[in-house]
Amino acid sequence: MSLLENEAVRSFVTWGTVCVVKMLAMGPLTARQRFKTMVFANPEDNPGSKKHDAPAVSENVERVRRCHLNDLENIPAFLALGAMLLVTNPSATIAIWHFRIFAVSRLLHTVCYLNGIQPFRALCYMVGTSVNLSMAGQILYCIFAN
């Protein structure tokens, strides 16, 4: 259990897990909208439909899917950058605040996306991306300044 004694690693593992679980939750949320609207992506998913119907599109389903895709664009990037930041042996306080702010911004992003709350959704996206870019900058600075 030696790595977890490092406060920054502990924070990364905690918030990283929270972000991944949040991302995984989008799958069942999509399925819930599919059953609510009875709009399915594959003919075999809906026993009531005729086999060769072109799949219809539901705006309620697509909204959850776009939110999920936005997670896929940002959360794996965070996990990679966070782990690489830890390799550079950063200040624990700075690292921990990066992890916290990112995780909270992504949780709020989902709430804002699913409820169509703008411009706060864009703001949450920008905060998350800024945290990612700040970590990238620190990693590259550490590499090239040493």
103, exposed or middle or buried, with CB in 10 Å at 0-12, 13-18, 19+? Answer: buried
Q: Residue 43 or residue 123: which is nearer to a copy of itself going by CB?
A: 43
**How many positions of this chain bind a copy of itself (CB under 8 A)?**
50
Q: Residue 76 or residue 93: which is nearer to a copy of itself going by CB?
A: 76
The residues, ordered by sequence, that sit 6+ positions from 98 with a Cβ below 8 Å of its Cβ are 82, 85, 131, 134, 135
Is residue 125 close enough to count as binding a copy of itself by CB under 8 A?
yes
In the three-class reduction of DSSP (H, G, I as helix; E, B as strand; rest coil), residue 101 is classed as helix
Work out how close the CB of 65 gets to a copy of itself at its nearest, in angstroms, rounded to a whole number: 9
| Choice from 37, 43, 101, 127 touching a copy of itself (CB under 8 A) | 43
